[in-house]
């Protein structure tokens, strides 16, 4: 579901036919194994142009799908139709699990495994989640949650790489990430840290100034606590002596 709908049974692709059938299967998949009510499925399939006998039309479509490789997985329940596929056998289920695993590993100071988990998660991403369902308001919330989780995975993958000292890959990736989503402060924070780690403190300070101007001009806000703390540490005008004789 991370992109246009694709279905495989035992590693073999299953042709689903036209757009209506694809939207039906995509709508079923939003249930994560639980039943989806007929009226919800009808809205997924036909949107604002539902036929007079929508429920009967759904039954005909399901009957036709039963001749495909996924027919045995479509089950009728009192609550509606269900696509009885465990969430761990879907790409979006695997994606969520891999990202959460990677974040937990990073919190546990296991940057090597965290990098692998986050890379495997992002490799599953092929495009807009539930793309076949278009701009249906029924998937807006689920789509937004997956999109946000992807943004976090992009950022924390680079955090893992910086922990491992891999600035050669992390810094260019963070520069691209900043260009794609300039108001996400976490990626600016990581970029500044990466530039410092790469021995480029002047460029790091310049990026701090750039994000401060961007936030002020774009949304009328100052940087958050993490970026302010970095600015305090790195910008000469903020440095103050401490008892040990070192500078911070």
**Per residue in 120-173, pLDDT tens?**
999 999 999 999 999 899 999 999 999 999 999 999 999 999 999 999 999 999
| pLDDT number for residue 245 | 33
Pairwise CA distance, residues 129 & 148, whole Å: 12
Domain count, the chain: 2
75: Cβ contacts below 8 Å, ≥ 6 apart: 81, 82, 84
| pLDDT number for residue 227 | 94
| pLDDT number for residue 242 | 35
Rg of the Cα atoms in the chain: 24
Q: Which of 86, 105, 120 is the last residue of a domain?
A: 86
Q: Which of 44, 61, 86 is the last residue of a domain?
A: 86
The answer to whether 191 and 178 are in contact (CB under 8 A) is yes
The answer to whether 17 and 37 are in contact (CB under 8 A) is no
The CATH number assigned to the domain holding 27 equals: 1.10.10.10
Residue 198 pairs with which residues in a beta bridge? none
The answer to whether 106 and 114 are in contact (CB under 8 A) is yes
Q: Is residue 98 part of a domain?
A: no
Structural domain that includes position 196: 166-248
If DSSP codes are grouped into helix, strand and coil, which group holds residue 11? Answer: coil
If DSSP codes are grouped into helix, strand and coil, which group holds residue 242? Answer: coil
Q: Is residue 152 part of a domain?
A: no
Torsion of CA 163, 168, 174, 177, to 10 degrees: -130
Q: Is residue 42 part of a domain?
A: yes
Q: Is residue 15 part of a domain?
A: yes
Which positions of the chain have pLDDT values less than 50?
Answer: 238-248
Q: Which of 46, 146, 28 is nearest to 95 (CA)?
A: 146
Q: What is the pTM of this model?
A: 0.88
φ and ψ of 16, to 5 deg: -110, -5
197: Cβ contacts below 8 Å, ≥ 6 apart: 162, 165, 167
């Amino acid at each position: 579901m991370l992109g246009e709908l694709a279905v495989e049974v035992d590693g073999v692709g299953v042709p689903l036919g036209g757009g209506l059938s694809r939207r039906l299967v995509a709508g079923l998949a939003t249930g994560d194994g639980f039943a989806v009510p007929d009226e919800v499925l009808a809205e997924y399939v036909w949107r604002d142009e539902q036929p007079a006998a929508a429920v009967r039309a759904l039954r005909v479509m399901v009957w036709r799908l039963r001749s495909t490789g996924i027919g045995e997985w479509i089950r009728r329940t009192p609550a509606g139709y269900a696509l009885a596929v465990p969430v761990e056998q879907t790409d979006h289920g695997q994606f969520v699990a891999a990202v959460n695993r990677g974040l937990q590993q990073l919190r546990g100071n296991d940057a090597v495994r965290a990098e692998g988990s986050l890379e495997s998660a992002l490799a599953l991403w092929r495009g807009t989640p539930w793309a076949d369902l278009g701009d249906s308001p029924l998937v807006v919330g689920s789509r937004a949650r997956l999109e946000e989780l992807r943004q976090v995975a992009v950022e924390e993958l680079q955090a893992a790489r910086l922990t491992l000292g891999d600035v050669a890959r992390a810094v260019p990736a963070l520069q691209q990430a900043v260009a794609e989503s300039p108001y996400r402060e976490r990626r600016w924070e990581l970029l500044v840290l990466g530039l410092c780690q790469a021995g480029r403190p002047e460029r790091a300070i310049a990026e701090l100034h750039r994000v401060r101007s961007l936030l002020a001009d774009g949304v009328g806000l100052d940087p958050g606590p993490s970026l302010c703390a970095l600015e305090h540490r790195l910008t000469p005008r903020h440095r103050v002596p401490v008892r040990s004789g070192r500078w911070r």
